[in-house]
Chains A and B, each alone.
Chain A
Amino acid sequence: AQSVTQPDARVTVSEGASLQLRCKYSYFGTPYLFWYVQYPRQGLQLLLKYYPGDPVVQGVNGFEAEFSKSNSSFHLRKASVHWSDWAVYFCAVSMDSNYQLIWGSGTKLIIKP
């Protein structure tokens, strides 16, 4: 069955430290992959998306993600987190032929001062 797994419900990182949020997917064919962020009391907004091509994708605010077909993963990274990155991050996958997005359960990022 198609699925997206974000194994970490919560990640705590010190401000200025590097970050990796994990996402694994199970999907037939070549997927489109997304990371969305949800700041408190707001809807979700796109951070970055992957189309078949270069496996490393650059996003907004210094975020990047790397697609790995062999590992079925699309992990999100940032070299140095800022307190304003405190939010919930969602990984999602879709195919052009199918309207559905399959969503992960989200990872809450907490920033320590």
Chain B
Amino acid sequence: DAGVTQTPRHEVAEKGQTIILKCEPVSGHNDLFWYRQTKIQGLELLSYFRSKSLMEDGGAFKDRFKAEMLNSSFSTLKIQPTEPKDSAVYLCASRDWGGAETLYFGSGTRLTVL
């Protein structure tokens, strides 16, 4: 079984640009999460989808961050416009169904905003 695939691995953007990060979850998984990881804040939830429906859009991240799940096997995270404080690692994770299940993570996209 393929794991969670995230592309690109690295992204460098100028302040004000629009960037799109991509994620392919484990086949058959119903839950998909986007997290932002920084040394200071740790893991912060950006979005949560269940069966392609957006269940949680991460409160503080609403205005410039938008995640979509176009089908059950592909999700995107758009940041528009980017700011230097968005520099972080963005992680996508999926699981089968429910709180007892294991989360499978991608390797992440490291975003640097200049």
| A46 to B100 CA separation, bound complex (whole angstroms) | 12
Given contacts A99-B31, A99-B48, contact A105 B42 (CB under 8 A): yes
Contact with A along B80-114 (1 / 0, CB 8 A): 00000000000101000011101111111000000
| Interface magnitude class on chain B | 20 to 34
Q: Which of A69-113 contact B (CB under 8 A)?
A: 90, 94-101, 103-106
Given contacts A41-B107, A43-B91, A45-B105, contact A106 B42 (CB under 8 A): yes
- Residues of A with C-beta under 8 A to B107: 41-43
- Residues of A with C-beta under 8 A to B99: 32, 94-101
Q: Which of A7-56 contact B (CB under 8 A)?
A: 32, 34, 36, 41-46, 49, 51
- Residues of B with C-beta under 8 A to A95: 99
Of A42, A43, A94, A100, most buried by chain B (CB within 10 Å of CB) is A43
Do residues A51 and B103 form an inter-chain contact, with CB atoms below 8 A?
no
| A41 to B31 CA separation, bound complex (whole angstroms) | 24
| A106 to B91 CA separation, bound complex (whole angstroms) | 15
B3 smallest CB distance to A (angstroms): 9
Interface size in chain A (residues, C-beta < 8 A): 24
Do residues B108 and A46 form an inter-chain contact, with CB atoms below 8 A?
no
Do residues B108 and A43 form an inter-chain contact, with CB atoms below 8 A?
yes
A84 smallest CB distance to B (angstroms): 18
Main secondary structure of the interface of B (DSSP, over half): strand
Asked if B55 lies at the interface with its beta carbon under 8 angstroms from chain A, I say yes
Asked if B46 lies at the interface with its beta carbon under 8 angstroms from chain A, I say no
Given contacts A43-B108, A90-B43, A106-B42, contact A101 B103 (CB under 8 A): yes
Of B43, B93, B105, B107, most buried by chain A (CB within 10 Å of CB) is B43
Given contacts A43-B91, A46-B103, contact A99 B43 (CB under 8 A): no
Asked if B4 lies at the interface with its beta carbon under 8 angstroms from chain A, I say yes
Of A34, A44, A95, most buried by chain B (CB within 10 Å of CB) is A44
Chain B residues at the A interface, C-beta cutoff of 8 Å: 4, 6, 31, 42-43, 45, 48, 50, 55-56, 91, 93, 98-100, 102-108
